[in-house]
Amino acid sequence: MGLEETFKKYKWMIPIISNAERDIRSILMKNFRTRKKNFYPQGDYKADVDNLIKCMLCPNMCRFDCGTLQAASKETMSPAYKARIGYYITMGLIDPTKEENKDFIDLMYKCTNEENCKVWCPFDFSVVSLLESVRDDLNDKGLMPDYCKAKISNLHETGTIENYNIFKTYKEKGIENISSNESVEVFYYVGCEMMKFPDVVNANIRILRQAGIKFSVEFEKRNCCGAVAFNVRDMKTAKDFAEKNANLLSESGAKIIVSDCPGCVLTLTERYEKLGVKIDAEIIHIANYFSRLIDEGKLSFKKELQGDYSQVTIHDPCLLARNLKDTTSIRKILGEFKHIKIIEPIHTKDKVHCCGWSGTAQLADRDLAIKEASNRISELIETGSNIIVSACPLCELGLGYGLNENNKEKIKIIDLSEILIKQL
Amino acid sequence: MTLDNFELIYSRNRCEIKNKPRVISKLKDILGEQNVSTKRVDLLAYSGDTTLIGTNWMLKGKIAGLPDIITWPENVKQISEILKLANEEKIPVIPRGEGSGVVGGAITIYGGIVIDMKKFNRIIEINDEDLTITVETGINGMNLERYLNAKGYTMGHIPQSLYTSSLGGWIAHRAAGQFSTKYGKIEDMILGMEIVLPQGEIISIKPIAGASRGPLLEKLFIGSEGTLGIVTKATLKIWPYPEKRSLISYAFPTIEDSFNAIRETLRENVYPAVIRIYDDQETDRHFEFIKEAKGKVMVVFICEGNKDLVSLEEKITREKCQKYNGVDCGEKPVEHWLETRFKVTETSSTPTFKIVFDTIEVASLWSNASRIYHSVLKAMKNLKGVLLITAHVSHFYPNGVGIYFTFAGVPPKGISDFDFYKMCWNTTMKTVIENGGIIGHHHGVGINRSAWMEDEWGNALNLLRDIKKLLDPNNILNPGKLYQPIWSKVIE
């Protein structure tokens, strides 16, 4: 809100204050003057105290759409309460160094980064942005939880989020490594988690080939994008990975970088730029790229459905739908095929509910993340469709964990490219 | 278990749980390990509700009430077993929905066991022929309403707390939504209920559209604020999602003109879903961008439903507004209200300035409405420290209204924020009683109004107290609410 708008909005207060009795006005003025002294921490801190206060004092207007709260069914998981605990930790009312306060610290990590809260926030911030600012202070005090440290340790030791270099498993998984000493048109940036879905990676490679694109994947040189370091707020590691990736991508000469993981796209763009690392290329999600190739006539598919995909439900990855603001690519591509019926769940597109596997919640509380995934599965199968199409390895992983014994055999969670490959 | 750094506001007469480990063990037998907690992180989360003085306390690290044990039952039998155990052990039990109450209804003033109803969130059935939904009461309001919307229906119950309140809370406090003039209050929507009584007995009142079979027993539990039973399931009226909406607004010279226009509209049996009168101060605050409304009283209307009926309702509403000197302000004020109605920012901004802020809603027949409005404004302005007292009127009946006051102020030197807060509440309650009004319209009694229940009910309160004793002889269920004063009536 600009200065003029702020003045207009609050000018009704002027006569109220000026007409107040002298002693009352004096108390009010003192309260205005001493606000920071009374309610803000002393010394250096990184916590976003302004917004922590706003959030904790709000009547929790986003609670109904908070995935972790809906999964836990506990007041403890409510957004405003998380902000309140963040404030108390910052103010020293809760001592984060005491073992007895471990549950309070863990709460700062029980968020999936889905940012549904931001959709409804009267102040237009997301709770995860507040929690991250508290994590910064915890890190400065050497209080990063062990489950976060383990992921950072993996990054340092293997270059990926696993305790082995997952990119180097391409051979055993039957994925072709496409390397090039010359400049390529496109760099296909495979997400760490997508390496767990070799069929999807292979499908994407085949589709790119079919479109005649000159591209590389460079599994031998690859590192994780570093998203987990951003999530746990180890910014030194994050910057290190940003620079490594920027160098690799720059060396490739690619003008377009496509990734099968919306988290990678977000990290390589917005998150790197916040650290001052700019990659001189267009970076987009692969669904968006395929859609473009179709428009350009470089990619065409059989219109008749080749698999049993007559009725599908789309699970929009929240990072793709909300952060990257792309809810059309998947639908547009599926719309290419005859006899396909897309049944939308109640919570869809930019109002999608999370798969549970984003952010740090799955590190801090795996059962909570699985419950969130299970809630999402219930919403998706309420459509009556047995096929759930997504375009994110985290979603496909998370939703998979959300299946139970009753629906495991019946429900198929697939990546968009698994339909496309059959239509080539 | 204590939270040493946090000052407890309601700290007197706390219950002592004898052999707490045994009680916890029994609760875990009933509910499973995962559904019982005495962890500090959970106890602090349940240490208050949304009573607005609580925001001032929160900043200072004060908590309203501290529960001893939190439970999350998953079925009605578990609730029954918890209550049986609580009766044996004489432990207070405080039911809780989303904790959005603003009168202290869910505050654990004596400690005890919290029953959090969040796991009772299943939608059981929509019946299109009967136009009903059967649903568990822990469901969040917005999640219920948007499910209905997706299926082509609405409940028409849209309180400002929609995003942050539960069906159970609405039933407990006799809630009203922004569209209540057409769809009614929650008590008008309930057709049947399942209830667990204080001693653990489960009763079921089947859905009834209209009947004659003895007293309306179900009404006893609506508005009982978790003191007479825990409503676990309800069957409610629903409506097809309206096919047309008409947005209307008029600015009136005086609040009396607006009252007359609306009263006469309702006399014609015309019910706009939304009617909201903003007094001149609130008009300046919310509609400063509407030049025609400056210094006047803005009224926004929404008529909705069948398109032919909506057209007729709009025509009649406009005629009545024009008759009482209303100036047509178009759709913009209504659009503005629709856009901003859930953007609650005041609670987040006032406490850091140590401003005490709250809203108090009261009810009145038409004949007293104007007098109550002016009298409360006058009384509150005379209270030292009050900087702002305004009102809007947002719930209408052919016979009366619900008036919603907003106040803000700073405690004078030597008076605590809590005492100042109580003085503001008591001043309003006293003035309303003296002018023939009703002490509350839709937020309930809780703690904040309990000192005024005798003035409100007279000797009928004894009958309510007798019913409480009959159903809950050990005073287990939500003690300290409704029937006994917790605050004194101090005004100065």
A29-68 residues touching B, CB cutoff 8 A: 31-32, 35, 38-39, 53-65
B406-445 residues touching A, CB cutoff 8 A: 409-413
pLDDT tens readout for residues A125-144? 999 999 999 999 999 999 99
Query: Using the 8-state DSSP alphabet, how is residue B166 labeled?
Result: B
pLDDT tens readout for residues B293-317? 999 999 999 999 999 999 999 999 9
Give me the DSSP letters along B339-382: HHTT---HHHHSGGGT-EEEEEEEEEEHHHHHHHHHHHHHHHHT
- Name the amino acid, one letter, at A347: H
Q: Report the pLDDT value the prediction gives residue A1, as an integer from 0 to 100.
A: 60
Q: Residue B207: which region, alpha, beta or left (left: phi > 0; alpha: psi -120 to 50)?
A: beta
A378-417 residues touching B, CB cutoff 8 A: none
| pTM for this entry | 0.96
List domains and CATH numbers for chain A.
Answer: 1-31 (no CATH), 34-143 (1.10.1060.10), 147-295 (3.40.50.1860), 311-423 (3.40.50)
Q: What's the token pair of residue A361?
A: 């919640």
CATH topology (fold) of B244-340: Alpha-Beta Plaits (3.30.70)
Q: In Å, how far is A67's CA from the nearest CA of chain B?
A: 12
What are the φ/ψ torsions at residue A252 (nearest 5 degrees)? -70, -20
CATH topology (fold) of B346-471: GMP Synthetase; Chain A, domain 3 (3.30.300)
CA distance B382 to B370: 19
Q: What's the token pair of residue B431?
A: 């003035």
pLDDT tens readout for residues B112-158? 999 999 999 999 999 999 999 999 999 999 999 999 999 999 999 99
- Name the amino acid, one letter, at B171: I
- Name the amino acid, one letter, at B269: N
Q: Report the pLDDT value the prediction gives residue A145, as an integer from 0 to 100.
A: 98
A63-102 residues touching B, CB cutoff 8 A: 63-65, 73-76, 78, 81, 84-85, 88, 91, 93-94, 100-101
Q: What's the token pair of residue B140?
A: 């969040």
Contact between B242 and B491 (Cβ < 8 Å): no
Q: Report the pLDDT value the prediction gives residue B1, as an integer from 0 to 100.
A: 47
Q: In Å, how far is A359's CA from the nearest CA of chain B?
A: 21
CATH topology (fold) of B7-116: 3.30.43
Q: Are A61 and B412 in contact (CB < 8 Å)? A: no
Q: Which of B72, B142, B351 sits opposite A73 (nearest CB)?
A: B72
Q: Count contacts between A and B (CB, < 8 Å).
A: 138
Q: Report the pLDDT value the prediction gives residue A336, as an integer from 0 to 100.
A: 92
- Among B241, B310, B235, smallest CA distance to B272 is for B310
- Name the amino acid, one letter, at B97: G
Q: Are A120 and B46 in contact (CB < 8 Å)? A: no
Q: Are A73 and B354 in contact (CB < 8 Å)? A: no
Dihedral over alpha carbons B304, B305, B309, B314 (to 10 degrees) = 0
Using CB atoms within 10 A of its CB, is residue B72 exposed (0-12), middle (13-18) or buried (19+)?
buried
Q: In Å, how far is B212's CA from the nearest CA of chain A?
A: 39
Give me the DSSP letters along A249-293: HHHHT-SEEEES-HHHHHIIIIIHHHTT---SSEEEEHHHHHHHH
- Among A209, A194, A198, A197, smallest CA distance to A260 is for A194
State the 10-residue block means of pLDDT for chain B, 492 residues long: 82 94 98 98 98 97 97 98 98 98 98 98 98 98 98 98 98 98 98 98 96 94 98 98 98 98 98 98 94 96 98 98 98 97 90 96 98 98 96 98 97 96 98 98 98 97 98 98 92 70
Q: Which of A53, A73, A81 sits opposite B45 (nearest CB)?
A: A81
Q: Are A8 and B288 in contact (CB < 8 Å)? A: yes
List own/partner pairs for A408-412 with CB under 8 A and 24 or more apart.
A410/A386, A411/A377, A411/A381, A411/A386, A411/A387, A412/A386, A412/A387, A412/A388
Q: Which of A35, A55, A120 sits opposite B163 (nearest CB)?
A: A120
Q: Are B45 and A123 in contact (CB < 8 Å)? A: no
Classify the C-alpha dihedral B21-B27-B32-B37 as positive or negative.
Answer: negative
Residues in chain A where the model's pLDDT stays below 50: none
Q: Is B398 on the interface with A (CB under 8 A)?
A: no
Report CA-CA distances (Å) from A323 to A113, A189, A353, B379. Answer: 10, 19, 13, 51
Q: Are A56 and B58 in contact (CB < 8 Å)? A: yes
Chain A residues in contact with B118 by the CB 8 A cut-off are 73-75
Domain residues of chain B, as ranges? 7-116, 123-240, 244-340, 346-471
Q: In Å, how far is A225's CA from the nearest CA of chain B?
A: 34
Q: Report the pLDDT value the prediction gives residue B2, as an integer from 0 to 100.
A: 57
| H-run or E-run covering A168 | none
What are the φ/ψ torsions at residue B331 (nearest 5 degrees)? -90, -20
Tokens 């005859």 identify what position? A338
B71-90 residues touching A, CB cutoff 8 A: 72
For domain B123-240, is the CATH number 3.30.420.40? no
Contact between A301 and A340 (Cβ < 8 Å): no
Q: Is A15 on the interface with B (CB under 8 A)?
A: no
Q: What's the token pair of residue A21?
A: 């009795």
What are the φ/ψ torsions at residue A339 (nearest 5 degrees)? 65, 15
Q: Which residue of A has its CA nearest to B147?
A: A346
